[in-house]
Amino acid sequence: MTILKNLADTSEFGALKESLICDRIVSGIQDSSVRERLLRDAKLTLETVTVKVRSAELTQVQLKQINADKTTEESVSVIITEKPPKKTPSKFPVMTDCKFCGRRHPRSKNFCPAYGSKCQKCGLANHFASKCRTKRNKTK
């Protein structure tokens, strides 16, 4: 707006100066809803254009801030406790050290990589050799 006013001062528009500045501002606005609102006003002056455009800019800034606040609130991290309350079903399973595979995963056979595998030490199912508990007989 300042640039337009400075250019209009150096030209010889006379009485049309404010009207031409208003027209250029309205045509240069990228937000079509703001442009529509300005074009509806039959008695558009440079002062009303200035007030409405600044109001629209502030509204956009506030909307961006509100949306940023919403996304911050929704992306709060969840703290997983070792023992959730017994009667409340937990959305996140408790991680445990598995005695069948030796890794850390939720306590369920579906998450255990050893489930369904055969031990290389004893030949039994559902555990790895590193966690095998069978005692081998020493051959003589």
The tens digit of pLDDT for each residue in 85-104 reads 565 556 667 888 999 999 98
Q: Is the pLDDT of residue 12 over 50?
A: yes
Q: 45 CB contacts (<8 Å, ≥6 apart)?
A: 18, 22
| pLDDT for the residue 99 | 92
Tell me the pLDDT band of 140, cut-offs 50, 70 and 90. very low
With beta carbons less than 8 A apart as the criterion, state whether 137 and 121 touch.
no
Rg of the chain over all Cα atoms, to the nearest angstrom: 36
* pLDDT at residue 67, rounded to an integer: 81
Separation of alpha carbons 102 and 127, rounded Å: 9
Give this prediction's pTM: 0.43
pLDDT of residue 91: 67
What residues does each domain of the chain span? 2-74, 81-140
CA distance linking residue 132 with residue 121, whole number of Å: 7
